[in-house]
A and B are shown apart, each in its own frame.
Chain A
Amino acid sequence: MKRGSAAAPEPILAARGITKRFPGVLALDDVDLDVYPGEIHAVLGQNGAGKTTLMNILFGLVQPDEGTLEVFGRRVRFRSPHDALTHGIGMVHQTRRLVSAHTVLENIVLGHPRVRGVLNLRAARTEVETLGNRYGFTVDLGARVWQLSEGERQWVEILKALYRGARILILDEPTSALTPPEVKTLLAGLQGLVRGQGITVILVTHKLPIVMSASHRVTVLRSGKVVVRLKTAEATEEILVHHMVGRDVAFRSTDRALPTGRPLLEAEQLAAFNDKGLLALRGVSFSLREGEVLGVAGVTGNGQEELAQVLAGLRPAASGSVRFDGQDITRLSPLQRWQRGIGYVPAERSEVASIAAFSLVENITLNYHFDPAFTRRGVLDDAGLERLTQRILSAYNVKAPHQHTRAQHLSGGNLQKLILGRVLSRRPRFLIAHLPTHGLDVEATAFVRASLLDARAAGAAVLLVSEDLDEILSLSDWVAPIYEGRFGAVLSREEADAETVGAMMAGSLLKGARGQ
């Protein structure tokens, strides 16, 4: 692949004809990838496009069925990440691969071939510090990983890869859990690595702005095939989205007439502990009327999960109170809240919101086993539940072979539609939706968002917790950026612009907080 320019470098990493089949799925189909030295190469694609599989092959976690790999001009075959590491390829995964109970230094030296036998952490510390200074990042090496912010953890992983001698860094969705300022820092840092130290970066993402602002070259994947290869300078967001999705996608918009009336839900100075016993939610107050959406914008780990669980009754409030429809519900059980019309869509779809080994009917029953309409003297009304399931499957467009399929066989998007359909079928007056579109493809995301707006139109008050600022801004009537367990402010939609909210998500501007 000659470019005709004077330099015309050989690719530092070249994958040829990579094909990978998983049972029932062709994950990658004859994929070629060329990465040139000293560039930031973006691999763009939707969920399920095969990006992660391709990267796992480059890192030796998965072996391809067909195809070859060349690194630094040599044919290689990786059987394990260990092989990839010895060839100078390091990977930073989407979910952190750090041992949170260990120190930063212990994590960095873990598995390093030179650190064998009796641990000489002092020598390693000096080496890592030198390396950190050279690349210009400082992390407290003695800190435990669980004490670090998400951005710092990512730098620890990058440092770890560099300490292992990586010259090619693969970053899988590196921005997914970062605040906007942290994203900026990360991208600037990567530019520095590439320009100053000759590191090559492969950036896997589905976010167009990241590609446009940070990369030199982009390869777009769709359904396991390479659709197009471009220089970023020659691309626009519109071109990329067209290639990525295969057609144009439009979101539905709704009128935004704010309802008036008395508050349905009032939270007063709510606080709660997390599982480690630390105060994660530190005094949150808000009130919501029927037909309003409050968007809680924040990066995971700032107390949103605790907030959602306290409201759903799954976590005791350390202090503060919740009033629903004029009554104090702070101490009510989850069951009592369901019965009063509070619905909860948790972030953990397959661990909390559904039971993998249960059929779809049984999963629907999870929100109906206490409902007098579906039980008679303690006996479940099977026929009624089956009819209900059928209604939910068709109304929410859940693609499933039949209603006795196990939930584990549903895709993420269909599972989420099933869960959302189940909760909304109870016609909740107050709905808590935690990361409702996280990890879903474009179509399922659009459907879930439309369903939330339908619930709002039907008069439900909605608390939407999301990391996706665009989602928050397009759905909410009120926006509350959350940082370290506190709301920066509760802003009306008109007051909330991306810059203000983004800054508050990162903990700044707290002084200028305005109440509702």
Chain B
Amino acid sequence: MWELLARSLEASTIFLFAALGELISQRAGVLNVGLEGLMLFGGTAAFITAQTTSSYPLGLLAGLAIGGFLGLAHGFFCITLRGDQVVSGMGLWILSFGLTTYLGNPYTGPLGLERVPRFFGLSPFYPLGVMLVATAWFLLFRTSHGLAIRSVGENPGAAEASGIPVAVIRYLCVTSGGILAGLSGATYTLSYNPVWNYNFLMGWGFVSLALVFFSMWNPWILLAGASLFGIMWQLSLSPELVLPGVLSRYVWRTVPFAITIPILCVISTPWFRTRWGLAKPEALGRPYAKE
């Protein structure tokens, strides 16, 4: 049972990293629907690098770097070129989906390194995730930089008039978001499930994206949501631990996705939005043109 919980927490870490990056990026007003793509690319790069160099740190670094680079690319399209954020995000996702399948294919199979050390069965990434949540919360709500980030996401015109460099802040947030997405992918391929397979995420990134909407853009609520989904996800992978013999294992796999839809509906209702949803950054998804 502890093993299941430890594994669930590791699964939540993957949701958490990606969603936290997306949260920071969205707080600055940039939506990246291609989150899954960044995770795929980060995970694949980490896996290939770790396997060829036999070094976890190098693999992790490669994952972070590629995630950051793709975040930067998204930023260039959305901030500098003021392109449609959905077009760019979808582009990144399909790009990553296609290219990682091609590039990673020769590496299909297990990583072949000693497993990342665990403490009482718990991966070191989980405490890192909790620390990052605390850091992100402190940064966003207790520092002037956080105030600047939130202002850029709410009303970039007001921020600019106060002397805040809107574009710089957006670039920083999108790139950090990308780095965290890369970290998330690397956590998957290096620690959680060190076996490369094409399209290994199968929707993790989109669930993470949904988690950001559930979180009301608050890192602590995000942590709770990610933990919940991590447990649910792990249970859906091994339902026999709870309900042996009931329904096919394939049916259980649909559960995390199926639950996401009604939650999305509830948080989208006017009832919910007028009570809790005020946290949504007002300029989210809108390109900002300096006058």
Contacts and interface: CB of A to CB of B under 8 A. Distances in A.
Direct contact of A and B (CB under 8 A): yes
Interface of A: 56, 61-62, 80-82, 85, 91, 93, 95-102, 106-107, 109-113, 115-119, 160, 276-277
Contacts of A56: 291
A118 B135 CA distance: 12
A91 B142 contact: no
B143 A100 contact: no
A102 B150 contact: yes
Given A98-B155, A277-B274, A111 B150 contact: no
B270 A97 contact: no
Interface in B238-291: 270, 273-275, 278-279, 282, 290-291
Contacts, number: 79
Interface stretch (B48-56, B157-165, B180-188, B199-207): B157-165
Interface in B129-167: 142-148, 150-151, 154-155, 157-164
Given A62-B291, A101-B282, A118-B143, A81 B163 contact: yes
B111 to A, nearest CB: 41
Secondary structure of the A side of the interface?
loop
Interface of B: 142-148, 150-151, 154-155, 157-164, 270, 273-275, 278-279, 282, 290-291
A119 B139 CA distance: 10
A119 B146 CA distance: 9
A115 B161 CA distance: 16
A341 B290 CA distance: 42
Nearest to A277: B274
A111 B291 contact: no
Given A118-B142, A119-B142, A277-B275, A99 B154 contact: yes
Contacts of A277: 270, 273-275
Given A61-B291, A93-B161, A97-B158, A110 B282 contact: no
B282 A109 contact: no
A80 B274 contact: no
Contacts of A96: 158
A82 B163 CA distance: 5
B143 A111 contact: no
A100 B151 CA distance: 9
A501 B125 CA distance: 66
24 contacts: A62-B291, A81-B161, A82-B163, A97-B155, A97-B158, A97-B161, A98-B155, A98-B158, A99-B150, A99-B151, A99-B155, A99-B159, A101-B279, A102-B150, A102-B151, A110-B148, A110-B151, A110-B162, A111-B148, A117-B143, A118-B144, A119-B142, A119-B143, A119-B147
Contacts of B144: 109, 115-119
Contacts of B290: 61
Contacts of A118: 142-144
B144 to A, nearest CB: 5
A106 B142 CA distance: 11
Contact of B154 (A81, A101, A113): A101
B143 A102 contact: no
A113 B150 CA distance: 17
Nearest to A62: B291
A113 to B, nearest CB: 8
Given A62-B291, A119-B144, A277-B275, A111 B164 contact: yes
Nearest to B281: A101
A128 B155 CA distance: 22
A115 B144 CA distance: 7
A109 B147 CA distance: 9
A276 B161 contact: no
A222 B155 CA distance: 32
A501 B191 CA distance: 71
A97 B275 contact: no
Contact of A110 (B142, B147, B270, B275): B147
A99 B150 CA distance: 9
B274 to A, nearest CB: 3
Given A102-B154, A111-B148, 18 more contacts: A56-B291, A81-B160, A81-B161, A81-B162, A81-B163, A91-B161, A95-B157, A97-B155, A97-B161, A99-B155, A106-B147, A110-B147, A110-B158, A110-B162, A110-B164, A117-B144, A117-B145, A118-B142
Contacts of B275: 277
Given A110-B164, A111-B148, A119-B144, A99 B158 contact: yes
A368 B178 CA distance: 47
A96 B157 CA distance: 9
A319 to B, nearest CB: 17
For A56, A95, A112, A277, which residue has the most chain B Cβ atoms within 10 angstroms?
A277
B182 to A, nearest CB: 27
Contacts of A115: 144
A348 to B, nearest CB: 16
A100 B154 contact: yes
Rank and list the top 3 A-B pairs by shortest CB-CB distance, nearest first. A277-B274, A111-B162, A82-B163
Contacts of B155: 97-100
